[in-house]
Structure 1
């Protein structure tokens, strides 16, 4: 089953812009192919195997996982491998018409799993559904905002949480948030938050760019330390990222000099890229930053399968830079003019071409629900199993970085 499916994801936001989880969907190579219960079990076991650890438990912490489901999936043994409190199954209203599905829903609810109702007309929704579901999908209709506000206000009195789908602008997000909706799914992970701040690099970003150029040229560590001392906060944040669980170091790094001695210059460059993004005051949003980190790590892991360590590390930088224009609130050409990048990285950023372009495009496609995922994976000779494993590993890694 995992050989015939690609995992696609969309982040889930709360009213405070925090990423509280992900919605997973499955893209089949052959959309018309039948899916058996053993196939579903295999798929669930694969995903759970990459998101659970015998010692650490669920590797995405308190994140919620919304899984698109059909009645067959409700009976899959592999579902038991997912922590009930973190798992919500999205089920279309049409499936509730059968007694077998209702029985399965009741059983899963008793075990603590969430159920999200899809395809229901909220304005005429029968309250009897509320006994079976924890969440309900709603869609914002800007032309009928007043009546929607009344309906959502009524729903807010119940225990059912409202999930807004297709929220593609921050204006819609603010409107839904004002209506009391609980979480949001849309294209906000690729959209800068509108800001009145001037679209120029701030002093911290200027310092970081200087450090990146010095690292690229292997400048003396004492020179690097002199620059870092201008902004003590940068040094603190840099060491916090390096010591995060995402890097897997056994010894805590105490200083910039210690970091260079242990890691070398190349890994230091990647962390400066992350710092550059987090230092933004224009267009910044937590979900955009997390998406950039996931994309960078995802592309890097894919590259590790086919190229050298240094080349794969360059893919991380390409992934981060691919969203840096939105994070910084600057045109891509301005971002590229501010720092010298390898030509192969620039090719990938500008046209998704060259050595790195296909890997970056592939990582990008998995967050766009793109039908091109299969053909892109074939172009770089990466199996769906390896692609899905890299995707899940990147999510776990990024969660550790963001939590640092």
Structure 2
């Protein structure tokens, strides 16, 4: 398993473009289907990353969608996933088997979700509809009126509709208007057409943050930092929320900027300011884009920790965070880099994905884009597949903590 499968993710969004969960899948170097032992090993790995014996499920209320085969229903590892947070995606053809049908009934009774893929809604009988919690649907412009009527009827039931392969934001809005509950895909990485009318560039709060970042980069005294931060009391509050969200194993929460510098130093403070810069955007981009940037930053950092000095790993975090800042600010990356003073290798990674940091950032992106380059990039960096997977899932948990702090 460790040498074959990369774990890939796609965010599961609601109609407000908020991340309500993830669909995880396995990327293989060959076309052979996974056997039962591999599936079980992968499930165990996921459980180990997302479950803590003391605190429980580490993704809060997030759902986890997993494509499955009937043999998976009887694996011990499946029972380690929390039923309320787990949705198993199966194909309609599997339900033709009586034993599979009975296994699905048992899983539903235990509280697991079942999502049906590849089914014609018009041909589903009440027995099947009574067993599933979700169903995948696809928008068709040629038969929109009929679909609207069908989805409206389905909306009256307890079944949740999940849209896949939406190509345009117009399709997304149409599905949201029809009452669909969730959307899977990478549309969030594509700018909305109306984005051109949104504010561009740095807002007032981000101007303050950039000034702070420059002072931190120069190791300015704490009094100078505090003088700038006092211009926006809300930023100080949010910054401390972010810092405390990461834990750090401290017995007491960090109460002030001075306290943060004394305990953590300047480099960690710089990284949190980069998070604050992204989440202070007023360009109208969706919450999922901000979360994706945070995941990239942490993912890239974790990939570099074992192979690079500490300072380089921290720079990787900044590179990952800034990799979507052009979209968050609605300006070209060149303009972003003209505004923010970054190390040359970070700028190189952001512009060309080259240099020391470029491959790490590319690998983090490959695992969210289902790129075939994931294997070759990991090999070039001498990072084992299992280590990539662990960094990926750890980054998701870390980002959830940060997102919770943002809501607070």
TM-score by length of 2: 0.96
Gap regions ≥5 residues in structure 2: none
Superposed displacement of residue 177, structure 1: 0.9
Aligned pair 1:298/2:277, yes or no? no
Which segment drifts farther, 237-246 or 264-273?
237-246
1:129 aligned partner: 128
Superposed displacement of residue 99, structure 1: 1.5
Gap regions ≥5 residues in structure 1: none
Q: Distance in 1 between matches of 2:348 and 2:71?
A: 45
SS in 1 for 2:303: helix
2:8 aligned partner: 8
SS in 1 for 2:377: helix
Aligned pair 1:95/2:94, yes or no? yes
Residues 45 and 322 of structure 1: is their aligned pair in 2 closer, same or farther, counting only changes over 3 Å? Answer: same
Q: Distance in 2 between matches of 1:249 and 1:333?
A: 39
Q: Distance in 1 between matches of 2:142 and 2:321?
A: 37
Q: Distance in 1 between matches of 2:136 and 2:200?
A: 36
Q: Distance in 1 between matches of 2:85 and 2:3?
A: 26
User: Is 1:7–1:26's contact at 8 Å kept on the other side of the alignment?
Assistant: yes
Superposed displacement of residue 15, structure 1: 1.9
User: Is 1:11–1:189's contact at 8 Å kept on the other side of the alignment?
Assistant: no
Aligned pair 1:28/2:32, yes or no? no
CA RMSD of aligned residues (A): 1.4
Q: Distance in 2 between matches of 1:17 and 1:187?
A: 11
User: Is 1:18–1:287's contact at 8 Å kept on the other side of the alignment?
Assistant: yes
Summarize deviations over 1:243-272 as a string: whole Å, max 9, x none. Answer: 114544333111111111111111111111
Q: Distance in 2 between matches of 1:328 and 1:200?
A: 5
1:263 aligned partner: 264
Residues 144 and 95 of structure 1: is their aligned pair in 2 closer, same or farther, counting only changes over 3 Å? Answer: same
SS in 2 for 1:306: coil
Summarize deviations over 1:30-75 as a string: whole Å, max 9, x none. Answer: 222x533222211111110111001100000110000011112122
Superposed displacement of residue 394, structure 1: 0.4
Q: Distance in 2 between matches of 1:274 and 1:337?
A: 19
1:187 aligned partner: 186
User: Is 1:246–1:397's contact at 8 Å kept on the other side of the alignment?
Assistant: no
SS in 2 for 1:116: strand
Aligned pair 1:337/2:338, yes or no? yes
Aligned pair 1:373/2:371, yes or no? no
Which segment drifts farther, 311-320 or 37-46?
37-46
Superposed displacement of residue 192, structure 1: 4.2
1:145 aligned partner: 144
Which segment drifts farther, 104-113 or 120-129?
120-129
Aligned pair 1:52/2:22, yes or no? no
Q: Distance in 2 between matches of 1:314 and 1:197?
A: 30
1:65 aligned partner: 64
User: Is 2:50–2:393's contact at 8 Å kept on the other side of the alignment?
Assistant: yes
Aligned pair 1:352/2:338, yes or no? no
Residues 330 and 10 of structure 1: is their aligned pair in 2 closer, same or farther, counting only changes over 3 Å? Answer: same
Q: Distance in 2 between matches of 1:124 and 1:21?
A: 29
Q: Distance in 1 between matches of 2:255 and 2:27?
A: 45
Superposed displacement of residue 29, structure 1: 2.1
User: Is 1:283–1:329's contact at 8 Å kept on the other side of the alignment?
Assistant: no
2:254 aligned partner: 253
SS in 2 for 1:3: coil
Which segment drifts farther, 176-185 or 367-376?
367-376
Which segment drifts farther, 170-179 or 299-308?
170-179
SS in 2 for 1:12: strand
Aligned pair 1:320/2:321, yes or no? yes
Summarize deviations over 1:56-111 as a string: whole Å, max 9, x none. Answer: 00000110000011112122111011000100001011211112211211111111
Residues 116 and 246 of structure 1: is their aligned pair in 2 closer, same or farther, counting only changes over 3 Å? Answer: farther
Summarize deviations over 1:183-216 as a string: whole Å, max 9, x none. Answer: 1111134234544332121111111111111111
User: Is 1:205–1:280's contact at 8 Å kept on the other side of the alignment?
Assistant: yes
User: Is 2:2–2:384's contact at 8 Å kept on the other side of the alignment?
Assistant: no
SS in 1 for 2:151: helix
Superposed displacement of residue 400, structure 1: 0.4
TM-score by length of 1: 0.97
Q: Number of matched residues? A: 403
Summarize deviations over 1:135-180 as a string: whole Å, max 9, x none. Answer: 0000112333222111100111221110011124332222111101
User: Is 1:191–1:326's contact at 8 Å kept on the other side of the alignment?
Assistant: no
